[in-house]
Structure 1
């Protein structure tokens, strides 16, 4: 058995301090505590001001919405919030369309457009649609019956009588404008003409569109679109890889505006096209995938055409400025058009660019026999891909007005995005003369030039933005960077 612990004996002495000294010590402790609290509050206030200044510098404001995101309070539809939807992007199969070349010959331009898949109808069926930021109306080929339709990847959409939109519908009147075709008709007719002289005609229909929400769920949405039964021009090129067009302009009948007017999304959307034309990308409707930091934003010019346009101050090839036309104090207009495969420059800028490229190396000679694109150069060494020659060329830079007169805003087109290699092994310029398509004083930014970038069209704030991206996976963005979120949490809670 273990030894028992010894019994402890002793006394507890309680000492009471002098009351006078106790009061002084208490006051001193209170003063010290107050001083510490004051220093802490001042320090927190300073940090908070620095954090809010960082918000202002980045062009954002600290708002109740930001606070809700910071402290874990997500927006809800019932509170006036909005959803976001994800759509995949796919490159169209390699092909070509004929276009007028600079010297009057005929060039075959390889297509680089992208399309998405959307389910329409009840029951929902898939349709492949070209994404087009320059078009108001979404339309699909339709058996109404069809007068001129090409064979697409899916059967023609078959509308029910109750799906027809009445001529007095506000969206019909918005689309037709002052041209009221038939007051006594029971359906709304339309016709759309495109820059390549093709056209689509049909009637408006209203039906379910099924989209995948950001949380993984699927929503059935009520939308108006074109039931197209008469296509003309290049829209009849066969075989076709798509069933119609997804209209993404800022017009009232475009898909983003329709969904925004119903309170379903913010009037914001974006697309991200991978630099590799064989790879896919993505697009989204709503603002949950918009990066809150690192974006370059420029204002959208208001105009009657519902296109996404802004104004550029300079166009540079490397450090060399190309000519930019200024008429009556107006800057050159720039239109972002995902419906265009290539980028178009006004003729004087286009010719200045060609002159700059001809000086790139004495070993490059223009090959007029190559009809891949209007301007192709034959190198004096074998070329298999753009990677073999990109170091010999310089980036194109569109320079916009500086933000707050000090922060530069530049849209950069790398050589990989404006050059292509022909079947002959020639280096061809993927920038074309805009005069050939009726844009003598406008820059058109097409698919090839936005590859490797996330481009966002914010109709709520009337601005266009972009940031470099590999476009492989969409990320649901936080409203604030993690370091600012942590700082605000620690200082404000």
Structure 2
């Protein structure tokens, strides 16, 4: 059997007179079926069809002018009108969402690059709401440091344990979170306070007047004491008239609160243990108050917390220090559940991208989170002087209750007289200035909410399609005491300050996700059940 040829190789040699051209090699593979060299008939037909000219197109029907009922100009007007209507509906539903959407992506990316987010839980203390006779109003301000030399240990304090809070000292309650300070880290319970600049922890320096708290006193190292020439010390004392600082001395401070309590101490710097929302462990340096002398309600024992967590926009505050070190954007948010608990976050990851109502922060010499109110109403009834603005409103989680100006408070009491036929004013109940009783003990505020109207804070709107209001339902200003009576959790502001400003305390901030954006200088809120923090989606509709 002769071998079958499966291929051909052709070698072309260079011309004899010009060997520099080289040789050429060409190879061919032969198929088993010689017919494969021929084009398949079907492919031949397809090739012919492709090369054939296309048939002449049928003439388009010509309509008379009356049949062209939509002109290009009319179509453009219709599309523009529909677009404006959709935009208006979007603006009404999502308030600031259009402007957030139109904000450049570069700006959003810049804010996200400022750092990660920190998420902290909020815990309700036993005993329910804080009542007037043992309530608290913070709004702390530095008033000048007393030059008291303190003794410090050269070694760190022993590790401390967190003591669970049990029982109830009637009536007492507040919202707190915990942080870990030192090396080794020790846990401390701190009152969450958006009305205070400085974070402070009760300190054994030694302590002159300290409440018995849930955890052992913080014991500083000698090298942790902040000198008087430190930039944060100068910032804290910038409004004080004092002699030039000796940079080798300690930084003393004294903070006076609106409820006439006070705290005295020195600044200390120690390591802070934090776990960011993404799971990253960080150990930033943290400056706080080592408080060795508490007066007023801050000295009452047993205390439910070890100190105060200052959350304003001041440079010495907790979020500002973390932002300065590049860990977070200087944004603070909290969500307090109606039934107790909630969460606190620092950074932008948990700020909703839709549904928020945003209002610019008022220009103020203080670092409080304050806005200007246009109107204040109970139901449809205006409160306060209609001829002038009700003034500003301060968000203060360090205050148990909400405080109105004298005029607004008087108008509110007059409006509430319509409630008396259904609920009887109980003059013998001293829990709060105004309490009501029913024929039988009230078991929940929800059972009597139909007798009351919501409170509404109205803010100036740029456009009529963007109303900006903060609505406070009856659950946001009523409390239930142990007698089965319901009491008004709004008090006269002249009892704690000059009465020219509305203070929104814990009672009115429940059931709201509130955000304090120190980057954009604005405050925002949206109703929430506060059960679980949600990461925000990038697109406003998601």
TM tier relative to shorter chain: 0.7 to 0.9
* Residues 344-355 of structure 1 aligned to structure 2 (within 5 Å): 344-355=403-414
For residue 122 of structure 1, report the CA deviation from its aligned partner. 1.1
Q: TM-score, normalised by structure 2?
A: 0.74
State the shift of 1:440 in Å. Answer: 1.6
Aligned to 1:137: 198
CA contact (8 A) 2:319 2:332 kept: yes
2:277 paired residue number: 214
CA contact (8 A) 1:189 1:202 kept: yes
Query: Cα distance 1:97–1:379, how it changes in 2: closer, same or farther (>3 A)?
Result: closer
CA contact under 8 A between 1:85 and 1:284: conserved in structure 2?
yes
User: TM-score with structure 1 length normalisation?
Assistant: 0.82
Structure-2 residue corresponding to 1:377? 436
Residue 63 of structure 1 corresponds to: 104
How far has the Cα of 1:422 moved from its partner? 2.6
Contact 1:86 1:211 in 2 (8 A): no
Paired residue secondary structure (2:53): helix
SS of equivalent to 1:235: helix
Structure 2 unaligned regions, length at least 5:
1-39, 58-75, 136-168
- Give the deviation of 1:57 after TM superposition: 5.5
In 2, the alpha carbon distance for the partners of 1:325 and 1:181 equals 47
Superposition pairs of residues 315-326 of structure 1, within 5 angstroms: 315-324=376-385
Within 5 A, what are the aligned runs for 1:65-214?
65=106, 80-94=113-127, 96=131, 98=133, 110-177=171-238, 178-180=240-242, 183-184=245-246, 185-214=248-277
Give the distance between the partners of 1:188 and 1:325, measured in 2 at CA.
47
1:21 aligns with 2:80: no
Q: CA deviation at 1:16?
A: 3.0
| Counterparts of residues 414-453 of structure 1 (less than 5 Å) | 414-453=473-512
Tell me if structure 1 keeps the 8 A contact 2:384–2:408. Answer: yes
Q: What is the distance in 1 between the residues matched to 2:55 and 2:233?
A: 83
User: In structure 2, do the counterparts of structure 1 residues 482 and 309 end up closer, same or farther at CA, with 3 Å as the change threshold?
Assistant: closer
Q: Give yes or no for the alignment of 1:300 onto 2:361.
A: yes
- The equivalences for 1:326-475 within 5 A come to 331-475=390-534
Could you tell me whether the CA contact under 8 Å between 1:121 and 1:208 is conserved in 2?
Answer: yes
Return the alpha-carbon distance in structure 2 between the equivalents of residues 263 and 134 of structure 1: 24
Which ranges of structure 1 fall in alignment gaps of 5 or more residues?
1-9, 26-41, 101-107, 484-493
Aligned partner of residue 308 in structure 2, secondary structure: strand
Q: CA deviation at 1:474?
A: 0.5
**C-alpha displacement of 1:374:** 0.6
Residue aligned with 1:252, SS: coil
Q: CA deviation at 1:58?
A: 2.5
Tell me by how many angstroms 1:269 deviates.
Answer: 0.9
Deviation at 1:22, TM superposition (A): 6.5
**Cα separation, partners in 2 of 1:64 and 1:24, compared to 1, 3 Å:** farther
Distance 1:364 1:482, change over 3 A: closer
Give the Cα separation in 1 of the matches to 2:226 and 2:411: 50
Question: In structure 2, how many angstroms separate the alpha carbons of the residues matched to 1:158 and 1:313?
Answer: 48
Q: Distance in 1 between matches of 2:108 and 2:408?
A: 47
| Cα distance in 2 between the residues matched to 1:325 and 1:203 | 46
Deviation at 1:17, TM superposition (A): 5.5
> Would the alpha carbon gap of residues 141 and 212 (structure 1) be closer, same or farther in structure 2, given more than 3 Å must change?
same
Match of 2:293 in 1: 230
Contact 1:112 1:447 in 2 (8 A): no
CA displacement at 1:311 relative to structure 2: 1.1
Q: CA deviation at 1:221?
A: 1.4
3-state SS of the aligned residue for 2:461? Answer: strand
Larger-gyration structure (1/2) = 2
Shift of the alpha carbon at 1:96?
Answer: 4.7
8 Å CA contact 2:441, 2:483 repeated in 1: no
Most deviating of 117-126 and 417-426: 417-426
**Matches of 2:50 and 2:430, distance apart in 1:** 104
Query: What SS does the corresponding residue of 1:157 show, helix, strand or coil?
Result: coil
After superposition, what is the alpha-carbon deviation per residue over 1:228-282, rounded to whole angstroms, capped at 9, x for unaligned? 1111111011111100000011111011111112222111010000011xx3110
Instruction: Report the Cα offset of residue 393 of structure 1.
Output: 1.1
Q: What's the CA shift for 1:63?
A: 2.5
| Alignment partners' CA distance in 2, 1:138 and 1:99 | 22
What are the superposed Cα offsets for residues 294-337 of structure 1, whole Å, 9 maximum, x if unpaired?
A: 0011111121221011111111111222224655xx54111110
Deviation of 1:186 (Å)? 2.2
Question: In structure 2, how many angstroms separate the alpha carbons of the residues matched to 1:215 and 1:195?
Answer: 38
Partners of 1:52 and 1:319 in 2: CA distance: 29
Tell me the residue number matched to 2:142.
none
Alpha carbons 1:315, 1:324 under 8 Å: kept:
no
Alpha-carbon distance, 1:172 to partner: 0.3
- After TM superposition, the structure 1 stretch with the greater mean CA deviation from structure 2, 444-453 or 412-421, is 412-421
